[in-house]
Amino acid sequence: MPAIPKPAPENATPLPGRPVRGSSSGRPIMALLDLLGRRWALRILWELREGPLGFRALQARCDGMSPSVLSQRLAELSEAGVVGQNASQEYALSAEGARLLAALAPLNDWAARWSRRAP
């Protein structure tokens, strides 16, 4: 009988192959949606799209989110391989993070069209 995967701790970084919210199998798309669905995760990625930022600058761009939440999200995004730190200790998108934002570009385009149609 195959082993049943143990649920990941609630605060564990969502990664493919690891059980996540909505998927005990840890399907890659479910892990990604769990990661991106965490509070502030998408905002952090969006703010890093134009280049590296230090912790305080990133916090200010994210409407002053709490330092503990920012630290947690940065740790998760780093563990997932989409954010890293450069030699100046600034946070930046990794190559995978840049590819992820490029993959999300059609959603941004859709949202722009939607906003023009919305009453």
44 and 73 in contact (C-beta within 8 Å)? yes
Nearest to 72 by CA among 97, 57, 55: 55
Would you state the pLDDT for residue 26?
85
91-93 and 83-85 as β-strands: parallel, antiparallel, unpaired?
A: antiparallel
Which ranges of the chain have pLDDT less than 50?
A: 1-5, 7
Q: Residue 26: what residue type? A: G
Beta-carbon count within 10 A of 40 CB: 18
Q: How far apart are CA 50 and CA 62, in angstroms?
A: 14
Q: How far apart are CA 16 and CA 32, in angstroms?
A: 8
Q: How far apart are CA 67 and CA 100, in angstroms?
A: 24
Token code pair at residue 99: 């590819």
